[in-house]
A = this chain, B = another copy of it.
Amino acid sequence: MSLKFITKNSIIPMQKYCYLNGKIVPEDSAHISISDLGILRGYGVFDFLRTYNGKPFYLREHLDRLENSAKLVGLKVPISKQGIDRIINKLLKKNKLNEATVKIIVTGGCSADGLVCDLKQQTIIILVKEIHDCPAELYKKGIKLITFEHQRNNSAAKTIDYITMLKLQNQKQKQKAFEILYINKGVVLEGATSNFFIFKGNRLITSKNNILAGITRKIIIKLADKNFKVEVRDIKINEIKNADEAFITSTTREVLPVVKINNRKIGNGKVGKNTKLLMELFKKMSLGN
């Protein structure tokens, strides 16, 4: 919980700070020009991580991925990794947060004609916010996914393009689903904000191509290696139907069991024992960080 100032009549949330183009500023007053290529052309990449015990988790991997995302679309992270590390720690202190999420966004910055990007003008934003854990019930009961035919462009990069996810939010809500699973031409890719895994017996299978290489995904592949046969390869849509268990991974959701995809139950419709083991292994590992 973030600290709050308590006055006579009300509780005023504490002012939060973020980093924007060289300065630490109150979030409420952090604004960028409408000539920014982030707005004019959706031209930006980002990365997203969290802390455990107050320490950024797998920071190096996230910053490497940010660097790679930027490179893949012709941008360049304008601050060194050490510099970003220092800013994150400053913001954790200034915002009086222990556990937090960290988002680092790099956009093409201001452009006079909206067509050409000058790398010297790039925008960088660092947001350090209070973490909101997923409700515990979701981990006990599992979640529902709905599928959608889609493959992200520049899929190896974590770009800011989430138009497809946002256009589906009403559909997701109506169908009481927690996440959207992207499928392309019969192959299962990734969740809109997560990676996807299935168990068939003791085989753990996760998608290989045309996805974002999640950091939690990478950790799970490693953790699972001692207990299961791990297959990193294309997953055919038909394989979902015969899967015994399924789950998604992401920075904030960690390992979140999936018990339904569209209107079909996965296995017996309950959280599977293999998934539970990975949930525990991840929890232990992350907290021991």
Which residues of A does B touch, CB under 8 Å?
18, 20, 27, 30-44, 72-74, 103, 105, 107-108, 113-117, 125, 127, 132, 150, 152-154, 159-170, 193
Nearest residue in B to A113 (C-beta to C-beta)?
B132
Which chain B positions have C-beta within 8 A of A161? Answer: 41-42, 153, 161, 163
**Residue from B18, B117, B152, B163 within 8 A of A41 (CB atoms):** B163
Q: List 27 A-B contacts (CB under 8 A).
A: A18-B34, A27-B35, A30-B34, A32-B39, A34-B125, A38-B38, A38-B39, A39-B39, A39-B105, A39-B160, A40-B160, A41-B165, A42-B42, A42-B159, A42-B160, A42-B162, A43-B162, A73-B163, A73-B166, A73-B167, A74-B168, A113-B132, A115-B169, A117-B169, A150-B153, A153-B164, A159-B163
Bound complex: CA of A40 vs CA of B36, how far in Å? 13
A72 engages B32 (CB within 8 Å): no
Nearest residue in B to A72 (C-beta to C-beta)?
B167
Which chain B positions have C-beta within 8 A of A132? Answer: 113
Which chain B positions have C-beta within 8 A of A107? Answer: 39
B34 engages A160 (CB within 8 Å): no
CB distance from A26 to the nearest CB of B (A): 11
Bound complex: CA of A170 vs CA of B41, how far in Å? 17
Nearest residue in B to A30 (C-beta to C-beta)?
B34
Which chain B positions have C-beta within 8 A of A167? Answer: 72-74, 154
Bound complex: CA of A74 vs CA of B115, how far in Å? 26
User: Would A41 and B164 be within 8 Å (CB), given that A30-B34, A169-B117 are in contact?
Assistant: no
Which chain B positions have C-beta within 8 A of A33? Answer: 30-31
A39 engages B36 (CB within 8 Å): yes
